């Protein structure tokens, strides 16, 4: 049990170009193209054109990371909503899934996820939201991904981990942040994902090997990495 393929998630067009270059060098590495809500003020016609061009690269398997962050509010909320909507529309046009960040913005994120239900698919990444957002994502047919934060003592949403259907469940690093216990405090890396996998298995009452297989298959399906493997 280990990590065999990785999706490196981008936060702006320059970041995405670097990710694409890396993915060209390593067959099991894939990239996304998006604009993070922290930088939503930079969303303009040129930025959208850059993301649309990047989305055509074969190494790009998703749009994002985008979404809403009302915790830091590094960009005005209206600009965050506009940037998020434009990237949802880009996901709809390209047929690529979208990677969504949401912090202290459950209501706004849930509203847009619901609006685009049936038009775009995606993942609620590094999920720490409430029941309203979880239900919106599941109702829309999206995946829900959990990171190392679920291993922290203060994590108290085990019920949400159990509620995600097996065919929608993902795990992730959110590298370089949120290294799981017992690696907390270190720079996070994909090798540590085994600890997150183990905690998900413990919460759900399943074997780690089962969680590893299920989440790998779900990731391949969502990002269209190897449809023949899914069957």
In angstroms, the CA 119 to CA 63 distance is: 14
In a domain, 90, yes or no: yes
The model's pTM is 0.96
Asked, for residue 104, whether it belongs to a domain, the answer is yes
Q: What is the pLDDT of residues 29-69, one digit of tens each?
A: 999 999 999 999 999 999 999 999 999 999 999 999 999 99
* Banded model confidence at residue 1, pLDDT cuts 50, 70, 90: confident
Evaluate whether residue 1 is within a structural domain.
no
- Beta bridge partner(s), residue 60: 31
Interatomic CA distance for residues 19 and 32, integer angstroms: 8
Residue 231 belongs to a domain: no
> What is the tally of structural domains in the chain?
1
- Domain with 173 in it: what CATH number? 3.20.20.140
Q: Is residue 31 part of a domain?
A: yes
What six digits make up the tokens of 194? Answer: 């085994």
User: Is 230 inside any structural domain?
Assistant: no
- pLDDT of 125 reads 98
Q: Is the pLDDT of residue 231 over 60?
A: no
- pLDDT at residue 227 is higher than 70: no
Name 101's bridge partners: 67
pLDDT digits (tens, 9 = 90+) for 174-192: 999 999 999 999 999 999 9
Question: What confidence score (pLDDT) does residue 229 get?
Answer: 37
Q: Is residue 23 part of a domain?
A: yes
Percent of the chain with pLDDT over 70: 98
Strands laid side by side in the 6-8 sheet: 6-8, 29-33, 60-69, 98-103, 122-124, 143-146, 169-171
- Percent of the chain, pLDDT > 90? 96
Per residue, what are the HEC states of the chain?
CCCCCEEECCCCHHHHHHHHHHHHHCCCEEEEECCCHHHHHHCCHHHHHHHHHHHCCCCEEEEEEEEEECCCCCCCHHHHHHHHHHHHHHHHHHCCCEEEEEECCHHHHHHHHHHCCCCCCEEECCCCCCHHHHHHHHHCCCEEEECHHHHCCCCCCHHHHHHCCHHHEEECCCCCCCCCCCCCCCCCCHHHHHHHHHHHHHHHCCCHHHHHHHHHHHHHHHCCCCHHHHC
pLDDT of residue 228: 39
Q: Is 84 contained in some domain?
A: yes
- Domain span at residue 194 reads 6-225
Beta-bridge partners for 68? 102
């Amino acid at each position: 049990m280990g990590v065999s393929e990785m999706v490196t998630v981008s936060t702006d067009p320059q970041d995405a170009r670097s990710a694409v270059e890396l993915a060209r060098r390593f067959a099991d590495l894939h990239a996304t193209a998006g604009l993070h809500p922290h930088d939503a003020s930079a969303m303009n016609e040129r930025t959208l054109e850059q993301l649309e061009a990047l989305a055509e690269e074969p190494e790009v398997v998703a749009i994002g990371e985008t979404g809403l962050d009302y915790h830091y509010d590094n960009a005005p909320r209206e600009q965050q909503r506009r940037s998020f909507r434009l990237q949802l529309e880009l996901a709809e046009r390209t047929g690529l899934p979208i990677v969504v960040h949401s912090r202290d913005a459950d209501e706004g994120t849930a509203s847009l996820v619901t609006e685009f239900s049936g038009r775009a698919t995606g993942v609620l990444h590094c999920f720490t939201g409430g029941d309203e957002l979880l239900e919106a994502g599941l109702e829309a047919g999206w995946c829900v991904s959990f990171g190392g934060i679920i291993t922290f003592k203060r994590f108290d949403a085990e019920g949400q981990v159990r509620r995600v259907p097996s065919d929608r469940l993902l795990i992730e690093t959110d590298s370089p942040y949120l290294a799981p216990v017992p690696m907390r405090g270190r720079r996070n890396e994909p090798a540590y994902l085994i600890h997150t996998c183990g905690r998900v298995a413990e919460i759900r009452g399943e074997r780690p090997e089962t969680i590893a297989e299920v989440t790998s298959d779900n990731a391949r399906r969502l990002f269209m990495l190897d449809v023949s493997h899914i069957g």
